[in-house]
Structure 1
Amino acid sequence: MDPVVHFELPCKDRERLARFFETVFGWKCQMLGPEMGEYTVVTTAEQDVNPKGLRGAIGGGFFLQRPDMPAQFPGIVISVENLSASMEKVTDAGGQVLGTEPWDIPGVGLYIAFLDTEGNRSSMLQPHPAMA
């Protein structure tokens, strides 16, 4: 099985996007310079341990949108302890929760999608107690 080891999100304003994810989820962002294409490295956990019963934590990055680059789409799901509180944080930080009620995925947890400050669609999952 090939595990997920990284994620990337396109953006027009990487400082604004970094501020959003730092505020809502406590992630750490490192802005790289022009020699690295203005890439932003994202750390989502202090170390790769078993947080919340997951098999391991992944990191990711933000890349500046370019008109000559195809398929600039994100693809992540973020595990949260309290979905209601996280939905409020998304809104308070300038994002938009998509829908009003989370979807209960049987045997998995509560799920809802959101748009961050750059219009990227991501989602949050509060695992059922048996999954946490």
Structure 2
Amino acid sequence: MDPVVHFELPCDNRERISRFFSQVFGWTTQMLGPEMGNYVVVTTADKDGPMGHRGAINGGFFTKTADMPAQFPGIVVAVQDIRASMRKVTEAGGQVLGEPMDIPTVGAYVAFLDTEGNRSSMLQPLPKA
């Protein structure tokens, strides 16, 4: 099985998107310089985190450019309390897309838009048996 090991999100404003994900999910960011395309390295979990992070991934943000095709994000963020996280999304300037839906044997899921218009999702996993 090939695991997911990284994600990338396009943005127009790297400071704004970094602030959004830091406020909502507590992620940390490292702003790289022009020699690295102003890329932002994102850390989403540390080994000793409270939610057991086996298979957790980190990623990055890249600035959108007119000459780059298919600049799409693709992530799902695990949260402890989906309702609290939905409020944080709204408070940080994002938009929740609808109400959580229950995915049998998985948990509660809802999509949202961040401050850059990227569509991402949150998942509150069901407790382990």
**Which TM bucket (shorter chain)?**
over 0.9
Say whether 1:26 aligns with 2:26: yes
Q: Deviations over 1:94-129 (max 9, x none)?
A: 000001x20100000000000000000000000011
Alignment of 1:107-126 (within 5 A): 107-126=105-124
Q: Which amino acid in 2 is paired with 1:31?
A: M
Q: Deviations over 1:25-56 (max 9, x none)?
A: 00000000000000000001123x57534422
TM-score by length of 2: 0.95
Three-state SS of the structure 1 residue aligned to 2:105 is coil
TM-score by length of 1: 0.93
Query: 4+ residue runs of structure 1 moved beyond 3 angstroms?
Result: none
Percent identity between matched residues is: 72
Count the aligned residue pairs. 129
Q: Which amino acid in 1 is paired with 2:117?
A: G
In 1, the alpha carbon distance for the partners of 2:52 and 2:23 equals: 23
Corresponding residue of 1:127: 125
- Report if the CA contact (8 A) 1:50-1:56 is conserved: no
Three-state SS of the structure 1 residue aligned to 2:20 is helix
Aligned-residue Cα RMSD (Å) equals 1.4
In 1, the alpha carbon distance for the partners of 2:101 and 2:25 equals: 21
The 1:54–1:105 alpha-carbon spacing in structure 2 relative to 1, beyond 3 Å, is farther
In 2, the alpha carbon distance for the partners of 1:104 and 1:50 equals: 25
Q: Which amino acid in 2 is paired with 1:83?
A: I
- Report if the CA contact (8 A) 2:11-2:116 is conserved: yes
- Report if the CA contact (8 A) 1:50-1:57 is conserved: no
In 1, the alpha carbon distance for the partners of 2:33 and 2:52 equals: 35
- Report if the CA contact (8 A) 2:46-2:53 is conserved: no
Alignment of 1:1-132 (within 5 A): 1-47=1-47, 52-99=51-98, 101-130=99-128
In structure 2, runs of 5+ residues without a counterpart are none
- Report if the CA contact (8 A) 1:51-1:57 is conserved: no
